[in-house]
Amino acid sequence: MGITRRRPDALGDSRVTLAGRARGPLAAGDGTIVVHDCSGEDIGRLVAEHRLISSELLKLRSTRTAIALIASVVGLVVLIGLVATITADFEQDEVLTVDLLGIAGFAQVFALILGILAVTTEFRHGTITPTLIVAPDRVRVVLAKLVAHALAGLILGVLVVGLTTALVLTTLSSRDTDSP
């Protein structure tokens, strides 16, 4: 068996030794090279999709509207949670800790607004044109926006729920109130 030349895969990994034997995950039992099911085109599409998602995340991080919206939802949820926890009368009203933690659900409205603004502002300001020149397939662009903003919504949700939980439990413990 001679030396087989082939192009490296997407990670730059070409597992052919000088003796012509393959090693690692590309090798079959007898040392021959196993051909990938994934063509170069498929790898190119995966890399392009990754770049589109990275581009959408960059737009999300660098847009003042998105930053202001995220900061305002965190501020509002913390403020509403603090006011509701401090002003709750646990002796007369049936106030449950779960109800106070439910204030974090207010962030869902802001996540929806963030997703709507992600698409509509690009069309309004004409900044969608460079995106569509680079990636003319609109389905891939919309999927990249969906993945990026779903990830941002997940991070926003975890952040708001964590802050609300810490705030409510800390305030309740400082008031010497049993958490029902």
Question: What is the DSSP code string of 58-73?
Answer: HHHHH-HHHHHHHHHH
pLDDT in tens, the chain (180 residues): 444 444 444 444 444 434 444 444 444 455 444 444 555 566 667 777 888 899 899 988 998 988 999 999 999 998 998 888 888 776 666 667 777 788 888 888 888 998 898 889 888 988 889 888 888 888 999 999 999 999 999 999 999 999 998 988 888 788 776 655
44: Cα separation from own chain's centroid: 22
**For residue 27, what are the β-bridge partners?**
33
SS3 label, residue 133: helix
> How confident is the model at residue 180, as a pLDDT?
52
| Of 174, 73, 175, the residue nearest 115 (C-alpha) | 73
> How confident is the model at residue 15, as a pLDDT?
43
DSSP 141: H
> How confident is the model at residue 36, as a pLDDT?
47
> How confident is the model at residue 160, as a pLDDT?
93
What is the value of pTM for the model shown? 0.67
